[in-house]
């Protein structure tokens, strides 16, 4: 039983090694630690963030030149989040945890010792609650699917809005250019 506990503790520590990094809070070095993000992209993210926090993944994709859907998914898989959310379709990661102090470490040692003493009781309780947990997982999976669909729909809507804004800007520039050309060719009095 103790071996199982040690294995679970090791798995927990491994999970914290791949902790989530939020694009709105991370330093440039933390951003560069994400697979696929180099100095250029991290600099762009930090400079765009100074203009205002990213609302969602689509906002990041639209505002940061060089980041598209594929790279956003890759960054999310590497642990990047926007407002604590992973990119739609990318696996979620756990938030980063603060390192333990000496006092907390000694408290953790006491917890480990107490856990050894009650491991058999906990195992039977877990076994009894496994059926309830399985039904809860099914419900949670449905919620996750719904959230992912909502996020994808929001991304599509934001992309469409961004494209419309770009088209409006382009039309306004063309109109201004045509007006300038017409003014230049008009006879002077």
For the chain, give every domain's residue range: 1-136
pLDDT of residue 136: 64
pLDDT of residue 15: 45
pLDDT of residue 13: 45
Residue 36's contacts (CB-CB under 8 Å, 6 or more residues apart) are: 71, 74, 75, 78
**CA pair distance 115, 1, nearest whole angstrom:** 10
| pLDDT surpassing 60 at residue 80 | yes
Full-model pTM:
0.41
Tens digits of residue pLDDT in 146-157: 777 777 787 778
pLDDT, mean of residues 103-122: 53
């Amino acid at each position: 039983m103790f071996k199982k506990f040690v294995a679970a503790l090791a798995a927990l520590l491994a999970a914290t090694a791949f902790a989530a990094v939020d694009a709105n809070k991370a330093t440039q070095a933390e951003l560069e630690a994400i697979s696929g993000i180099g100095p250029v992209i991290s600099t762009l993210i930090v400079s765009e963030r100074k203009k205002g926090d990213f609302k969602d993944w689509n906002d990041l994709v639209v505002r940061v030149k060089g980041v598209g859907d594929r790279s956003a998914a890759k960054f999310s898989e590497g642990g990047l989040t926007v407002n604590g959310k992973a990119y739609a379709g990318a696996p979620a990661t756990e938030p980063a945890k603060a390192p333990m102090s000496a006092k907390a470490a000694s408290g953790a040692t006491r917890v480990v010792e107490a856990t050894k003493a009650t491991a058999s009781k906990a195992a039977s309780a877990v076994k009894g609650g496994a059926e309830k947990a399985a039904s809860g997982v099914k419900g949670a999976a449905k919620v996750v699917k719904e959230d992912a669909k909502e996020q994808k729909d929001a991304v599509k809507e934001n992309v469409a809005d961004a494209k419309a804004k770009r088209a409006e800007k382009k039309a306004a520039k063309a109109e201004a250019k045509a007006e300038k050309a017409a003014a230049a060719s008009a006879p002077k009095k």
